[in-house]
Chains A and B, each alone.
Chain A
Amino acid sequence: MADTQKLVSLRTCDNVLHKVPEHLTLQMRTIRNLLSCKIFSDTDTVIPLPNVSSQMLEFVIKWCEAIGPGDKALGSMQLSTLLTATLPDLEESELVYDLMKAANYLEIESLLEATTQHVADEINNCNSLESVCELFGLENDIGPDDEEGEWW
């Protein structure tokens, strides 16, 4: 357990097997929980990640490396900046949503905070309710005769 070179096998949804150093996976609460179960022996366990793609996992690994092992309490703005610094090609693409999904599943606190902050900023850039709905593909299903109308 003290061996930092211990590798954890993760299989992503595109059926690729990744071997990740354990100390990085410790940031992922999901994996950490799984590994803490004594049933798993060291080398044979393959943990599947059915909703994480290889690309996402690579991003996640880069992030975990950037964050480092310490439990530094970074503010969400700082995390967001760190996100854009570590993963520059995330900016223009929609990948940040997938990354958020992956972070949500793997329960990586810091990455979840960074990505949600990013998305929150995006919402704030929306000018109207319709654009918010459009941005996320959500249907505005609040009827007109609902409890109260809009108030502002």
Chain B
Amino acid sequence: MKHVLEMVDISKEFPGVKALDHVNFKVKQGEIHALCGENGAGKSTLMKVLSGLYPAGTYSGEIVIGGESKQFHKITDAEKAGIAIIHQELALVKDMTVGENIFLGAEPCKRGVIQWDELYHNASVWLKKVGLNISPDVKIGNLGIGQQQLVEIAKALSKHTKILILDEPTAALTESEVSILMGILNQLRSEGVSCVYISHKMPEVFALADSITVLRDGRTVATLDRNETDDDKVVSLMVGRELTERYPRVEHTPGEIVLKVSQYNVWHPEKRNQRMIRDINFSLRKGEILGIAGLMGAGRTELVSSIFGAYGGKAEGEVQIEGKTVKIKSVAEAIKAGIALVTEDRKRQGLVMGMDVKRNTTMATMGKVSKLGFINENEEIKWGRQYVQDLKTKTASLETLVGTLSGGNQQKVVIGKWLMSDPKILIMDEPTRGIDVGAKYEIYNLMNRLVDQGVAIIMISSELPEVLGMSDRILVMCEGEFVKEFQWREATQENIMLAATGGK
């Protein structure tokens, strides 16, 4: 069979990071080709190169479609070549009808006037093709996520797409919706449409794909035939990097239980019937690091922000701190109860970029530096200086705006802010994301120091080596549930990843 798409030697660099390193990726006519890899392996970057989102010239390498070398300068160039991408976040206009959305930007016109009858007629033809039995004049907002996804596919097909890219298409779908989607994709395959299916859910990959390409750290690791491999093999290829001694492993002796969470359930803030977290039970001991592993969208962040009183959705279940049942309804209450949360995204959730280092440090504990609502500037300087020194934050002065610091130093300011609240339970969501190796190492040392002082740490991380290197105990989360618990000695990248991808 011939290749409809060949991506040869694709490299792409961002400042300081090599996102893609001589990647080769080939898709045959009429096949479903799964693209697998951990978070940050380069899957999405590769697809952005292919769809013209990163224009020709910003990457090196060659894209060959149907035997012809192509250069895409914008998304419409890629569309003309028959490539359509359906992102995880659907790109539909909620207040427009299904028909309007399908032909958005390509409305059938006569002298500048839209031919509505033609538009809706054509729309219903495409809807039938994807097995959607709805009228094209329904508003998108009234459809479920699964139906919206099918509308996206209909929209892509209406552009005479030869290569359809689906980025994590099932992340938000229910099981029955997933099986409908699979049916449609199988049918498209029989009609000769090629499909790139990005997913890290092994059962789906093996149910659908003809071939599987695995990316790791921006490189192509292997392209395999579905029939000659199994999920163990794919998972080990996804994670199979060598473990180097980058982690200051220290033996901890966990003490009594500080946090006990039982039968915990959390619902989505807007879609009230969608359960994000199911029947979670766990406990956390004084002086231990509990790692929570899982893939993006597994519900890890939702779980901890709900415990921290910062998640909009309804929560049910019991939370005990040091044996006492607590009902935490707001962040202020959580801080008072001794919980601190170093959030996942420091730019969006952790820091006020236009404020200086000391003000960001004191933000969650203004009570310590003020009396009757009046701030004592010198107290503020004292505390700010203490955490800058303790954490070895590199900053020109305490009055430097945090927006001008490097990622690692920004993260230290966030950590300083939370240490100032004297937490008993320190939750760290992706504590070392996007920071350099030196700063990472300092943060690991700090975590060990805190644990020695009796703080209990929950660490969420998508970097498996980090989870393995730092945790005393590891819980693996998949689709809102804890699926496995490991002691650090028995955990390996392979068995964690297998559990996280829904394998056995």
**Are chains A and B native binding partners rather than an unrelated pairing?**
no
